[in-house]
Each structure stands twice: as C-alpha cells, then as structure tokens.
Amino acid sequence: METVSAQKRKTTASEPSPSLPLYRSAPELEVSLDDFELYAIDRLRVLKAMSDGLSRGKKPDEIGALVTELWKEHMQHPNPSDVMNKDIISHFVLRLVYCRTEDLRKWFLSMETTLFRHRFRLESLEVQRMLMSEFKLPFKALSNSEFEAVKEKLGQVARSINQPLPTVDSTIFKVPFEEVPELVAGRRVYMLKGDAYVAMNQVASLVVTQFRSHLSKALVLTNRKWTSMIQEQEKDRLTPIVEALSSSYLGPDYSQPKEYAEISIKDIDRVANSSFPLCMRHLFDKLREEHHLKHGGRMQLGLFLKGVGLKLDDALAFWRVEFSKKVGTEKFDKEYSYNIRHNYGKEGKRTDYTPYSCQRIITSTPGVGDHHGCPYRHFSEENLRAALSKMGVSSRTADDVMDKVRHRHYQLACTLTFEAIHSCSCDAGINHPNQYFTESQKILQQRSQAAE
Amino acid sequence: MTDKGNNGVDEMQVDVYTHEQRKKGSIPEGFNADYLKLYYAKLFPHVEIFKWMSYGNDGKHPARDTSYFGRREFSFTLDNDVYLRFQSFNSAAELENSIKEKCPFKIDIGPVYSVDPAKRHAYAQAGDNVFKPVERELVFDIDMSDYDDVRYCCSGADVCLSCWPLMTIAIKVIDFTLREDFGFNHILWVYSGRRGVHCWVCDGRARRLNNEQRAAIADYFRVYKGNENSHRKVSLAGPAMHPFISRSYADVLKLFFEEKLLCGQELLSTEERFQMILDMIPDESISGQLQERWKASWRPSMSKEDINIVRWGQLKHILQSGKQKAPVLRRCVEEIVFTYTYPRLDMEVTKHMNHLLKAPFCVHPKTGRVCVPIDPEHCEDFDPTSVPSLAELLEELNMAGSSNADSGWEGTSLAKSVSFFKSSFLQPLLKSCKVEMESKYNDAKIQEMKNSMSW
Ligand code: SF4
Ligand SMILES: [Zn+2]
C-alpha cells in the first residue's frame, strides 16, 4: 500500500497527555493514501456541519454540544492509539486543501478555531494549563499582593457578567489587551493601563487567539509551499485528492447571480415587493424614503442586489438616483460610487464582495441611525409586527413569528414569514437573503407559467 | 420665545461686527479658494503636520525607517469637487508644495501602507496582498447629528453652546478611558470644523492594532444596543456595571446630565419631552403615576426651582426609593442618563484601518472655521462658536501687516492652537518615538550579536 510520511512530532508518553493537539508541526506518520482521504473527509464533515449550525444562528453553547456530538460521530477510530493520529493527519490534509485561496483559508481558519475553542473548553483545568504552557504564552499569574490591589474591580467585573467572584486562590493572568480582543469587546475583563485581567476560566480566549494566529500564518506558508513545490511533486498522488476535496467545499455561493438572475432597474420595485426578505425590504424602503443609507446598510443591500443580478451600471444608476436627492450627484460620484464599484470588484482589492448570509446579518450590531441587520433580531416587537402586517402577514401568523423571535430563532421566524407570504412550505429553511430571493422567484415563476 | 430673543441678539452682534470690520477696512466672512491659498501660504502648520506623520523617522537615528512618511496616504478634495486619493509624499517640502499648489478644500489622512500608495498599481500585479495598510492611528469620530433625538436646541449640522456639552462629555469619557484602561498617552482631539470632534490616538501600540483589535475597542465603548427601530436604546442589564461604565457614569455622565443638559435642553419641560423619558421606564404604573402628576402640575410652580430639576428629583425618588426591588427599575435612572449623554461613536471609522479622517488645521468649507485641537483637560472651556475663522485670521494677518511678513501663524489667534499642538501633543509624542526607536535598535543589535555567535 502506498504511504505518505511527513516530519517529526515528539510525544512524551509519561505525562497526562491532552487529547487536544495543537498541530504545531506536521506529523511523522505513515498513512495510506486511502486513509489520507478518508480522514480528511471525516473531518470535513465535522467542519461543514458546524458551519451550517453557525449559519443557522446557533448560540455558542448549542455549537458546543454540536461539536461534541459530531466529533464522536466522525472522528473515532477502531484502534484507540490511532485516534490522535487521525485528528492530526486530517487537520494537516485539510490545510493543504484549504490553503489555496483567501476565501478557503478564511473559512477553514474560522471553523478550525471554533472547533478548537470548544474542545479546549472540555479539557480539565490541568490540561488547559498544560496547553497554555505549550504555547509558551509569556503571561504570569497575579501574585497575592497584585491580586489584593485590584480585587474589588475584578469582583465588579465578575458580577457584571454573572461569573463567580475571584478569590485569592483564583488564577488571574495580566495580559496585553491586544491578546484577548473578544473579552475586551464584551467588557468581560477588567482593564488597567493596557492590560486585561483574565480569569482562568477565560483563558480559552487567550489560547484561541494564539491558535488562530499560528494557524493563519501556517496556512499562508502552506500555500506557498503548495504552489512552489508540493503541487508539482505530488501531481500523481496527493494533488488529485486535494483538488477533489476542495471542490466539495461549502454551500452555495451567492456572489454570482444564478439562473433566475438579471433583473433590471425597472423591475426592482416589483421584485422588492414580491421576493425580498424583510431585512432587504426594510433597507430598500428606507433608501427610497430617506435617499440615504449608512455604510452598513449600503453594504448589506448593495451586495444583496449584486447577488440578485443587478448589473454594475444599473446598480450605480439605482444608488445615484436615490442618493443624489439627498447629497447631490457630484457628492455621490465622489464619495459613494467608489464603494459600489468596489463591491463589484471594479476598484481596490476584492476582499469582501460576497452577499452577507443571515448569520452575518443577524450577528451584526447596527447602531443609531443604521437600518441594516435582521429585523427579526433587531426590531422591537411593535415595529416588527407593523412591518409584518405591511408585508401582508396575518396577525395569527405574526403571533407564531413573534414566538420564534422570542426564542431567538430569527431564521425560523423569517422562514415562517416566507411560507405565509408564498403559501407554501420551505423545508430548507432560510439561511441567506439571496436564497430567500431565489426560492421566492422560483415559486412565482412556476405559478406564472402554470397560469399561462 | 427664547428663540426669538436669541435671534434679536444675534442680529445685533452681526451688525456691530460688520461695522467694526468695515472700520478696519477688512475681509468679509466666508470661504473661497483665494482665502485658502493665503491660509496655506502663511498659516497652515505644514512642518508640524509633517513632523507628526513622520513619528521620528525623519531624524538621523540609525533605526529610522526612511520610507515611512512616503507610505502614508493623503487624499485631497479640490475646489471643483475632484477627489484625489492615494497621494503620497517623500518629504516635508513635497507635502507643503503640493498643498500650496493644489489648494485642497479638504485634506484627509489615511493609513501607512506596506508600499507607496501612489505606486500601488505597480505592486498589484506582483501577487496577493502586497498593498495593504500596516499602520494607522486609532481614530474616533463623533458627530452631533447623531444626537438629534436627544437635543432640542438645534438639529443636523448645527451646534450651539447648549448642545456642545454632549461633545465635551464624549471627550471626557473617551479620553480618560483610553488613558486609564488602555494605557494610551498620545491622544489628539480636534474640532471637526462644524458639528463634531475627531480623536487621534497616536501611540505606537495604537497605530499597530489590527482591525479585530480596533473593533474590540470600539465595542468596549458600545452601550447602545438597538437603533431607532427598537425602543430601549441603552441596556445596562446585569447585576453590576463594568467598572468603566460605572466610573463614566459617576464621574462624567451624571454630573453633566444634571447640571448642564437637564436644564440646558429642558428635557422634562413639555409633555412631548417628558414622555420620551417616561417611555423608558419599564413599569407602566410608575410612568403613569409620574405622567399624571406632571400633566397636572403645569402651573408656574410655587417654588422658583427649575421645573426640569424638580421633575427629575421626583422621578429619581420614585425609582430609587427602597420600595423598588426590581433591579431593572433601579437601573433605569442610569439608563436614562446614558441615553441622553453617552458618546455616540461612528463605529465604522474606528474599526477599520483604512478609513480616512480629515487632517487637523483644515478649514471647514461651510463654516470657514479651522479644525483646531482641543485640550481634553480643559475641554469644558472649548467654545465652537469662537474658533478662529479663515476671514478673521486673514484679517489678523493684514493687521500684523508688512512689518514682518513671514511670521506666519504667530501673532494670529491660531498661535494658541498651534503652540498647544506642538507643546502638548507633538513634543511628548516625538520623545516617546525616540525612546521606542532606541529600544528597537538595541534589541536588533542584541539579536545580531546572538546571530553572529550562533554559527
Ligand atoms: S433571517 Fe436572514 S433573510 Fe430573513 S430577514 Fe433576517 S437576515 Fe434577512
Ligand atoms: Zn444646540
């Protein structure tokens, strides 16, 4: 049987070894080409199911449970001593698969990081400490006297986030705030002079940041190696497998309009009325009403319209008509058109030009004066009810919708609305505003054909 | 009725002013390309801006980065609304000449890129991501028009002395937190020329933050949860407030609310206004009770005390009295104060490295006022209505006359601003840049020694 081997990885047998590898270097393991592929597919199953869960707007603890379940289902091995190997090999194979474009890297990085975060949380405190030291984080725990000096503030933070009060025995790390952005963002740490005070039960965030940045750099390196040598050297063995694996990637891509595509400006009001999900309808109405949208709204609606099939020239014309009523044509051409062209990849770097998914919209945080976001999540009950009734949703259905909203199932709420408006079921559920649009158009076209 | 009175006074003052002006044989208020040309020729502190943007890399230190200033993006908005992005300059003279020649109505400052932004196309072919921002001050942009739902004196682009305290609050809260919580030292506050303020955090550590870290800082400051589509604007739920939140409340917000805004904006004087506040109380029996009382009590009160203060006292009493067990109710007073005072940031500006921000000392084309620095330690004293305007400055320049033609801003009312910029911001900044450079140099030397011995 043909085998593949890579470099060395040390393991010391005597220590209580964590079941969570850090994937710091490629393993020296003999593995058959079949396993090479099978392991990778199993891991991919885990990552994809996670990705689906995230895009359905699942909360962190739900994702945690999902991860545990998925891991059990796909990542076991009949031979216990091979469990770890499977974990490591599959990770490194997928690195090859997902190193090759910015988008692939981004997806892989975020899924592996999420996976790591949840697995890290499941480890015992002792193992967590060990993993931390493996990363060689240069952070020391507070001494008793240091602790006393900030005790009161630490207690205040702990109470503000419903955490147990720290005591002298608690381990608290003082780290540069740059290392724990997510804790800073949520005001989950006490901050003093540029240092964040991180409790032991929060170090996941710290380690995850490290994990993420290591992996991010590694992926770029892998990409370089891949294009400079591996791809050619392995063109008869690994390359075909890697390529096959990568095409089984992600769900549908809405950045390019699909079969029902190409709408023109004159149709836009009609389709907005019939087939836009509430988030886009709201932006659309606000734009017509105020002739202006702030950045977040322009992005959310603009990329959606691109996905719907509005051509660049039409998009420019569409936005210009509205904005010029408020800011004048010149200002529009000067300050806003760049942005729109950029979304279509005509100017600047083409970084983020795919239409936003529901997950992204739901987790966005619109501020004062913003109209983007997901109405199911971001509207008050009263405003949401009004918006629903404007869409023609009966008050009985609206009750059902509100019920979903209260349980924070925003996409299900949106799905119910879809079903009510189109009076037919939508089993797949709504995951993406462009999917909402496409499904809606499909149904309407079938109906109009049937009517002919 | 107070409005009318004010107008009368304004007109009078304007009259007097023009009269005086005529006496001096002088320059009418306004803004135009000719004024601006003179301003850039005589007054604009080119050298200081260059020094700042060089961060010590223009000196002689062996660890300096000679390409640093040249990789900074400037962008100019010209008279005819032409917008020039990705301008870059290799020296103070180049910058100064270009400004004088193009006479931009607005100068924006962008990030320092990995390569000279003017040559970005040449690198674009070379492969992915060569051209990207690598350094950028951490910036904040606060705009009075975002406060329109909590001020009654003016709206949109207008500001006056009774709403300006909102900006003072923003400066105080943000400045102190950046220093105390984040440990930053080199912070520049600038009047945006019309209706807001900008903040530039220039510490090396701040300039090197990535987008995720910038977003984290922006979110640290976020207390507004919803937008106009949801009722509750500020939510301070939870059994306690984070130290930053409670400190901001106790040290700044509460004081300004009770001493400036409550009466200055007459927040509880009319039914429409007090209803907005009552709507924020989650218990309808309480808000109903207050509403009834306030609706009934509209007789020119027996006490001389201001009606706003009286009502606020009643509201606080009822919500904070021992009887109220529910924490949501006790927290409600704070939530009201936050809603009416807490800084409203334009988050996007802070979150992204490559956002452009108007340079200090530009002149606002609509008001003709100079974007002068604001001293955060004395920001209460800052008066946007008395910021030097282009016409005034040129007038002063005329008065100083031909006696010493090259004195520039010295002797004009811009002098105070420029010397504040130099002594309170630029000098300490450059000093710390030098220290940073020195230690970088020493580290590199040590590393070199190690390398040379490691063969
Ligand atoms: S669930 Fe998705 S499609 Fe529906 S409104 Fe929210 S973001 Fe839009
Ligand atoms: Zn005002």
Least confident of A154-168, A367-381, B290-304, B383-397: B290-304
Distance of alpha carbon B195 from alpha carbon B143, whole angstroms:
6
pLDDT score of A7 more than 50: no
pLDDT, tens digit (0-9, with 9 covering 90-100), for A248-271: 534 444 555 554 457 778 788 889
Q: Which of B132, B229, B246 sits opposite A383 (nearest CB)?
A: B229
- pLDDT the model gives residue B197: 98
Distance of alpha carbon A400 from alpha carbon A416, whole angstroms:
8
Q: Is A376 in the pocket of ligand 1 (CB under 6 A)?
A: yes
Closest Cα partner for A115 from A206, A46, A215? A46
**B141 is an active site residue:** yes
pTM above 0.80, yes or no: no
Closest Cα partner for A175 from A131, A149, A211, A209? A209
Report yes or no: A381 and A398 within 8 Å, Cβ to Cβ: no
CATH topology of domain B13-221+345-443: DNA primase, PRIM domain (3.90.920)
pLDDT, tens digit (0-9, with 9 covering 90-100), for A343-401: 777 655 444 477 888 888 888 888 888 999 999 999 999 999 999 999 989 988 999 89
The residues in B 122-161 lying below 8 A from A, measured between CB atoms, are 128-129, 131-132, 146
pLDDT, tens digit (0-9, with 9 covering 90-100), for A416-435: 999 999 988 877 778 889 98
- pLDDT the model gives residue B397: 87
pLDDT, tens digit (0-9, with 9 covering 90-100), for A176-196: 999 999 899 999 999 999 999
A414 annotated binding-site participant: yes
Q: Tell me what the mean pLDDT of segment B213-233 comes to.
A: 77
Q: Closest ligand to A387 CA?
A: 1
pLDDT above 70 covers a percentage of chain B that reads 85
**B143 is an active site residue:** yes
pLDDT, tens digit (0-9, with 9 covering 90-100), for A158-178: 999 988 888 888 889 999 999
- Give the confidence band of B5 by pLDDT, cuts at 50, 70, 90: very low
Dihedral-angle region of residue A277 (phi above 0 means left; psi in -120 to 50 means alpha; beta otherwise): beta
Q: How far is B132 from chain A (nearest CA, A)?
A: 9
Cβ within 8 Å, pair A191-B220: yes
Q: Which atom of ligand 1 is nearest to the CA of A377?
A: 6
User: Best substitution site from A283, A359, A361 to test ligand 1's pocket, by max atoms within 8 Å of Cβ?
Assistant: A361
Distance of alpha carbon A49 from alpha carbon A114, whole angstroms:
12
Q: Which atom of ligand 1 is nearest to the CA of A374?
A: 6
Count CB-CB contacts under 10 A for residue B302.
Answer: 6
Q: Which residue has the higher pLDDT, B406 or A173?
A: A173
Residue B128, SS3 per DSSP: coil
- pLDDT the model gives residue A11: 42
- pLDDT the model gives residue A16: 52
Q: Tell me what the mean pLDDT of segment A199-226 comes to.
A: 87
Q: How far is A102 from chain B (nearest CA, A)?
A: 9
Q: Tell me what the mean pLDDT of segment B84-94 comes to.
A: 94
Distance of alpha carbon A118 from alpha carbon B212, whole angstroms:
21
**B73 is an active site residue:** yes
- pLDDT the model gives residue A335: 82
- pLDDT the model gives residue A140: 79
Closest-CA residue of B relative to A331 is B81
Taking only Cα atoms into account, the Rg of chain A, rounded to an integer number of angstroms, comes to 25
Q: Domain ranges in chain B?
A: 13-221+345-443, 243-341
pLDDT, tens digit (0-9, with 9 covering 90-100), for A69-79: 999 988 988 88
- pLDDT the model gives residue B259: 95
- Collect all residues of chain B within an 8 Å Cβ-Cβ radius of residue A191: 181-182, 220, 244
Report the DSSP beta bridge partners of residue A296. none
Q: Is A92 in the pocket of ligand 1 (CB under 6 A)?
A: no
- pLDDT the model gives residue A412: 87
Q: Angle at CA B17, nearest 5°, toward B15 and B23? A: 105
Q: Which atom of ligand 1 is nearest to the CA of A436?
A: 3
Q: Which of A160, A330, A365 sits opposite B241 (nearest CB)?
A: A160
Residue B191's H or E segment, with its range, is strand B187-191
Q: Which of A181, A193, A194 sits opposite B212 (nearest CB)?
A: A181
pLDDT score of B9 more than 60: no
pLDDT, tens digit (0-9, with 9 covering 90-100), for A85-141: 899 989 998 998 888 877 788 889 999 999 999 999 888 888 888 888 887 777 778
- Collect all residues of chain A within an 8 Å Cβ-Cβ radius of residue B222: 365, 367
Cβ within 8 Å, pair B238-A378: no
- pLDDT the model gives residue B421: 97
pLDDT, tens digit (0-9, with 9 covering 90-100), for A311-342: 888 888 899 888 888 888 888 888 888 888 87
Residue A111 identity? M
